[in-house]
Structure 1
Amino acid sequence: MTTDHNRLRHADLPTVRQAIRAGQYTAHTAGLGAGYLQANLAVLPSAYALDFMRFCQRNPKPCPLVGVSDTGNPMMTTMGRDIDIRTDVPAYNIYRDGQLARSVTDITDLWTDDMVAFALGCSFTFENALMQAGIPVWHIDNDTTVPMFRSSIDTVPAGPFWGKMVVSMRAVPNPRVDEVREISRRFPLAHGAPVHVGDPAAIGITDPGAPDWGDPAPIPADHVPVFWACGVTPQVALEAASPPLCITHKPGHMLITDIPEDAETPVLPQHTTQTRQPRRA
């Protein structure tokens, strides 16, 4: 049985997570889990973990690190009471030697005792605050994935990890751009304030109607394109590093954590970690 986005948009977090875990929902997570931090995902062999952590530390805007698993343990104990990174993301991208091989909805059969999982904050988190302020978010209202682009903005390399920053775009009504800046600035774990406002060509984007990831979105005449650092940036860096196997979220398909969306540091209330069996093969 599948579950659609409109139904889950009004559901509580346990209901959303269970639908994802059971494979009943495999689409984008924009607008879901209101009030909680969403996160991008990168899963790597342990030999690459330290350099990747350095890459995140050197590039905090596109890579706000909010959680790291223990080696070989798929339970993200600092992100939630019962989060299994193998099943709790709607869709994953599998890379082999830096090349996208396929997308799947469960990585239980790919997980090994040598893997480390990283969770990075996502701009979907602050969209709830924008909507509460009466600022329209076109891709949520139209059930699509936010447009994402490779920019000309350099990241700071670390070991084999390097590349250009990926940015996400939202068209904002002209009179509300400053308000949007201030709202998103309050969410440092979700990329914070925009990295660019205005002319897409100034950051190397030649056609804002043709995103590299996600779906096209209009820019009405009375709106301004606004660009935020994006957690797909590590996927570009992973392509450069070319590990034999790595796993990321499929762009737009995030991990929804138990961390409040307005947290300034990724700290959960004290709890007892639970373990469970993986879902169906």
Structure 2
Amino acid sequence: MQDTVSPAQLRQRIREGLHTGNTSGLAPGYVQCNLAILPADWAGDFLRFCQLNPRPCPLVGMANAPGDVALPPLGDIDIRSDVPSYRVFRDGELTEEVSDITSLWRDDLVTFALGCSFSFEEALLADGLEVRNVSQGVNVPMYRTTIPCHPAGAFGGDMVVSMRPFRAADAIRAVQICTRFPSVHGAPVHLGDPALIGIEDLSRPDYGDAVRVDDDELPLFWACGVTPQVALERARPPFAITHSPGCMLVTDLRNSRLAVL
């Protein structure tokens, strides 16, 4: 697929089952979102979890009411079909991955759209920096860590991070650029030795794909929107749905609107 496709065109292709892979680099210029869908009686605690943990869970939008499948501020969206791949959790356990959740939809479900690092990748690329997962054409590597999140009700656990390697001077520039985007994870939460945050082997990510890290490069780690999936596993709600890692909701909201100048 051409990366110049518009958000609406991309969502239509996803809705028709013509695109089921990751969305990194697609619809440049537009915000992509992580997804969490929960029953209404769990939504309050999850909202509080996002408010307490804005780095991994930056809230971009949410449904107006339980059962709503639209997210009007973010585009002409049907949340049941406009994400390439969904993960379905029952009692905190991942039970299946599907490309459409229409048959699973319930009137008590509340949708949360959370900021995604794919938005700040565009700013890094625009500054002339190489984003390794983009240049290699793979999904960004993501890792579970030992960095604790602030709990809210039953939701808690440790942060998931995404990793991109840079040479030292470029790493400094990457930090400066991403600081301007707090709504899509902001600056890195760690750089350098991965063992200090509980990552044993960069070549074996928990989600996504491994990328090359050269000897003269530092790994930079950003808070990641897969963190809510870890929180769901811990909270064990009877039913929940998320995006599959790397398979985002592409919105009509422009990345430039999220920048803090």
TM-score, with structure 1 as normaliser = 0.90
Deviations along 1:6-52, whole A, 9 cap, x unmatched? x3313222222211121100000110111111100000010100000
Q: CA deviation at 1:78?
A: 2.2
Is the CA contact 2:66–2:107 (under 8 Å) kept in the aligned structure 1? yes
Q: Which residue of 1 aligns with 2:72?
A: 77
Using the alignment, how far apart are the partners of 1:243 and 1:14 within structure 2? 32
Counterpart amino acid of 2:94?
L
1:101 aligns with 2:95: yes
Code of the aligned partner of 1:74: V
Mean CA deviation greater in 128-137 or 41-50: 128-137
| Alignment length (residue pairs) | 258
Distance across 2 between alignment mates of 1:148 and 1:119: 19
Match of 1:238 in 2: 232
Q: Structure 1: how far apart are the matches of 2:222 and 2:139? A: 15
Q: Work out whether residues 186 and 262 of structure 1, in 8 Å CA contact, stay in contact via their aligned partners in 2.
A: no
Give the gaps of 5 or more residues in structure 2: none
Q: Alignment partner for residue 30 of structure 1, among 3, 24, 30?
A: 24
Cα distance in 2 for residues equivalent to 1:50 and 1:8? 39
Q: Which amino acid aligns with 2:133?
A: H
Query: Which of 207, 211, 214 does residue 217 from structure 1 map onto?
Result: 211
Q: Any stretches of 5+ residues in structure 1 without a counterpart?
A: 1-6, 266-281
Q: Which segment is superposed worse, 47-56 or 12-21?
A: 12-21
Q: Percent identity?
A: 52
**How far is 1:184 from its partner?**
1.0
Retained in 1: the 8 A contact 2:8–2:252? no
The farther-off stretch of 14-23 and 226-235 is 14-23
Give runs of ≥4 in structure 1 deviating > 4 Å: none
CA distance in 2, matches of 1:230, 1:239: 16
One-letter identity of the residue aligned with 2:103: D
